[in-house]
Chains A and B, each alone.
Chain A
């Protein structure tokens, strides 16, 4: 009894408690209370139409979870706990299926990395033991330690994996020297690059293989020429465009192709050899700026069109970076003492060897001045090669075959020979970019100078680093593979349109004469013919009389 049930807007709402209301005189019926409880429980057990859950079970689960986990400030995060319980309700059923499906790639990769750690059985071990005196394998972990003092380098795990992968590479290929060159980042995958120098015998074998391929190509060309001769009559006029002479690439083992590079996407994956680089590729790579995708066979879409796919572009960038940033402390390398020092007019000295009498300079000296470092990578000329090649020397030999001697004489003067800085030039000669020096030198630590390491960072190729500490030094590259330019990259403009035909007096249009000019010309002509007419007047009169007579007769 009482005034209830109160509606929400009435002042008595919420205050009505069965058994405690001021208006309630009777003791409430116990049965009605249990009935109310049962009604409430039945309501809570009602299943939802959308999800099939019911509130009773949900609240029970939630409270169980809270009492089990005892989170702090449970009242603040109660909604999240409720959501989690509901989430877990659906998760359990699909648990097993999802796990197997998802982690497939993770397990595969783990298998590959595990394979690195297994020792190769059989003859491989014996050969390595004999050759350990020469230490073909670089000590990647030691280098990583020195670079880590400067904050450069990969995680220890990855360094060790690369170490093992290099060991695998050395054992598979017959290699004289091997070095971890660095890592180039890409969009989908990255590249880990090893710089390798082969034995001489293997270099000759590869050269033979390449020659065979080229001769096969020439044979095809001859067959095509014969077909063309048959159709000569119906051919449209041939274009007078002569492509600029193709500059041949440098021999394997010299110049830009001094080292052979192997890449892999991740340690554990097989190493792929990069093809040697041609000058045309280097020249084109200087004009374009593209990210690497991580797949070696990806096409490089750019203007000017890059002659090759991503493997060639990668090799070209590696060649440029090596030529620009491979440095060593002065005195570490010296020129081999040969009698014939100046064989080629512009070749300069090509080879260098380690100096057994090398005295390392202190770290402070290495950092203070850049003249204590020298380039031991040969710089690449504008032509795209390290050693100048004159394309017109050879063309004279071929000219006799093609009978084009006349055209050769019309060609422009031979381009001037390009000379680059000689090998082992100190870094102080490097040009800076605007007002930034080409290299930034720092000691690795100012707190403990006696054990500091001298670190150089390149500003021209961001990502190229070098360190020197006592007799040890090394270079490395971690980056995207592009040169630094403070200006934005402007793509090359297309070349001007070629003239379709040679212009001469017969084809060139002339202005039509104006009316006055025509009249003047006519008057001049009449004057000239007037004189001739006087002579012919008598003859014409006689002819006219005869004509008139003939006409009268016809009529």
Chain B
């Protein structure tokens, strides 16, 4: 969520029971603008908090002029001092998917990493190296996975300019209440996968400036989003069931929206059994 609107946004997203203490809120209000100044970000989004066993990580993302470009991610243990995380590679994501269990809470902790298959084991045997993955790498890989899988925005909030870069849509006034209840009005804010597979008929209805992303309609498994109207319909809250702890809120007919993650950073692989 936008760092500027953090206090109001936290109130709206707090129906899951997770939030920030006044101390952290104050610290964020002071340190996030400084982050923006130091790293020359155009936008600073407070991404959320991953609970480790011994401590918690507070994550922020910084965006540049193209909002769809890879983002810089920073973490902090106390919301005051921030450290930049290394950029994500596919290898990191693949390795992190192997790990199970909670985060430790110590950024320099190293996980003993099990081999994938016999080929890798042979290679490592020859090299004589042990597979370890640091908690920082696991952290950034998890954040990337969560953003890719369940980072969502309302339809029309971002537009693609003819040059290809993605900007915020200044004319976005919010979804209407009926639109806000439908899953088709929300997009994954990541590289689209299903867009090319749509039939020509469907493509004809799309507006290339606003409909350049995948909508939530075809998420597998179906029903992995819980859509609720809180406070009698004044706030629409979407909760992901795949990554428990991700909450997206939107106040219909206003420009307020955002998502935040408060959780343990583990994928809910039991989802098909639980629905």
Chain A residues in contact with chain B, CB under 8 A?
A: 71, 77, 80-81, 83-84, 98, 102-103, 105-110, 112-113, 148-158, 182-183, 185-190, 266, 289-291, 434, 436-437, 440, 444-447, 457, 459, 462-463, 478-480, 482, 486-489, 491
As a 0/1 sequence over residues 1 to 32 of chain B, the CB contacts with chain A under 8 angstroms (1 = contact) are 00000000001101111111111100000000
Contacts known (A102-B178, A151-B20); A289 close to B274, Cβ less than 8 A: yes
Complex-state Cα separation, A520 to B100, whole angstroms = 68
Interface pair B232/A188, CB less than 8 Å apart: no
CB contacts (< 8 Å) of B23 on chain A: these are 149, 444-445, 447
How many contacts between A and B, using CB within 8 angstroms? Answer: 121
Complex-state Cα separation, A362 to B244, whole angstroms = 35
- For window 220-240 of chain B, which residues contact chain A by CB distance below 8 Å? 223, 226, 228-229, 231-234, 239
- For window 48-79 of chain B, which residues contact chain A by CB distance below 8 Å? 51, 53-54, 78
Contacts known (A152-B19, A154-B17, A436-B101); A80 close to B171, Cβ less than 8 A: yes
CB contacts (< 8 Å) of B229 on chain A: these are 105
CB contacts (< 8 Å) of B232 on chain A: these are 105-110, 112-113, 266
As a 0/1 sequence over residues 76 to 107 of chain B, the CB contacts with chain A under 8 angstroms (1 = contact) are 00100000000000000000000011100000
A260 nearest CB across to chain B (Å)? 23
Interface pair B233/A186, CB less than 8 Å apart: no
Instruction: Kindly state whether residue B275 has any CB partner on chain A within 8 Å.
Output: yes
CB contacts (< 8 Å) of A436 on chain B: these are 53, 101-102
Interface pair A189/B17, CB less than 8 Å apart: no
- Provide a sorted-by-A list of 15 A–B residue pairs whose CB atoms are within 8 angstroms: A80-B159, A113-B232, A149-B21, A151-B19, A154-B17, A182-B17, A183-B17, A185-B226, A187-B223, A290-B274, A434-B101, A478-B17, A480-B244, A486-B100, A486-B102
B176 nearest CB across to chain A (Å)? 7
Interface pair B53/A440, CB less than 8 Å apart: yes
Complex-state Cα separation, A291 to B239, whole angstroms = 13
Interface pair B21/A150, CB less than 8 Å apart: yes
Task: Specify which of A103, A182, A188 is in contact with B226 (CB 8 Å cutoff).
Answer: A188
Interface pair B226/A152, CB less than 8 Å apart: no
Complex-state Cα separation, A185 to B230, whole angstroms = 12
Interface pair A289/B177, CB less than 8 Å apart: no
Complex-state Cα separation, A500 to B239, whole angstroms = 49
What's the dominant secondary structure at chain A's contact region? loop
Complex-state Cα separation, A486 to B265, whole angstroms = 12
| Interface range on chain B (Cβ under 8 Å from partner) | 35 or more
As a 0/1 sequence over residues 153 to 197 of chain B, the CB contacts with chain A under 8 angstroms (1 = contact) are 000000100000000011100001110000000000000000000
CB contacts (< 8 Å) of A77 on chain B: these are 170-171
Instruction: Kindly state whether residue B116 has any CB partner on chain A within 8 Å.
Output: no
Instruction: Kindly state whether residue B241 has any CB partner on chain A within 8 Å.
Output: yes
B9 nearest CB across to chain A (Å)? 11
* Cβ-closest chain A residue relative to B101: A486
Instruction: Kindly state whether residue B273 has any CB partner on chain A within 8 Å.
Output: yes
* Cβ-closest chain A residue relative to B172: A80
CB contacts (< 8 Å) of B239 on chain A: these are 185
Complex-state Cα separation, A156 to B228, whole angstroms = 19
CB contacts (< 8 Å) of B11 on chain A: these are 155-157
Interface pair A155/B170, CB less than 8 Å apart: no
Contacts known (A149-B22, A291-B274, A489-B270); A189 close to B101, Cβ less than 8 A: no
* Cβ-closest chain A residue relative to B226: A187
Complex-state Cα separation, A459 to B52, whole angstroms = 10
* Cβ-closest chain A residue relative to B223: A187
Complex-state Cα separation, A436 to B54, whole angstroms = 9
CB contacts (< 8 Å) of B102 on chain A: these are 436, 459, 486
Interface pair B101/A291, CB less than 8 Å apart: no
Task: Specify which of A80, A84, A153, A489 is in contact with B14 (CB 8 Å cutoff).
Answer: A153
* Cβ-closest chain B residue relative to A291: B274
Contacts known (A80-B170, A436-B53); A152 close to B18, Cβ less than 8 A: yes
Contacts known (A185-B16, A486-B101); A437 close to B273, Cβ less than 8 A: no
